[in-house]
């Protein structure tokens, strides 16, 4: 019986050793998982920051594009007004020339 108790005690001690080794291994795995999670979180945070910066650049580019579009529209509007003004000057010049011709004919008729 003493031998059986000794064997049982030895098995119990071995089970306790295995349990301690298991707990140590779990602690190592937990540490590795925590470190991996930290690295993953850091990567995610960097990716999110890059995404925010990209969105800011897109918004700025859209604003710049809109401002440029407005400037172009303004320039085109100015050019269109200049063309219309030039056409009006040409029409008025022709009318003036016609009036001058009529005046000369009227003068000749007198």
Residue holding tokens 């925010």?
52
pLDDT of residue 26: 92
In a domain, 65, yes or no: yes
In a domain, 97, yes or no: no
Maximum C-alpha span of the chain: 159
Say how many domains are in the chain: 1
In a domain, 109, yes or no: no
**Alpha carbons 3 and 53: distance in angstroms, whole number:** 74
In a domain, 87, yes or no: no
Count of CA atoms in the C-beta half-sphere (13 A) of 65: 6
pLDDT in tens, the chain (110 residues): 888 888 888 888 998 999 999 999 999 999 999 999 999 999 889 989 989 998 899 889 888 888 888 887 778 788 888 888 899 899 988 888 888 888 888 777 76
Residues spanned by the domain of 33: 1-81
In a domain, 101, yes or no: no
């Amino acid at each position: 019986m003493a031998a059986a108790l000794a064997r049982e005690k030895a098995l119990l001690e071995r089970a306790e050793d295995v349990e301690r080794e298991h707990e140590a291994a779990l602690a190592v795995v937990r540490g590795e998982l925590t470190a991996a999670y930290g690295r993953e979180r850091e990567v995610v945070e960097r990716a999110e920051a890059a995404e925010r910066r990209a969105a800011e650049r897109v918004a700025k580019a859209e604003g710049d594009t809109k401002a440029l579009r407005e400037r172009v529209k303004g320039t085109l509007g100015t050019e269109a007004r200049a063309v219309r003004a030039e056409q009006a000057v040409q029409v008025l010049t022709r009318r003036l020339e016609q009036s001058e011709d009529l005046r000369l004919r009227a003068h000749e008729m007198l």
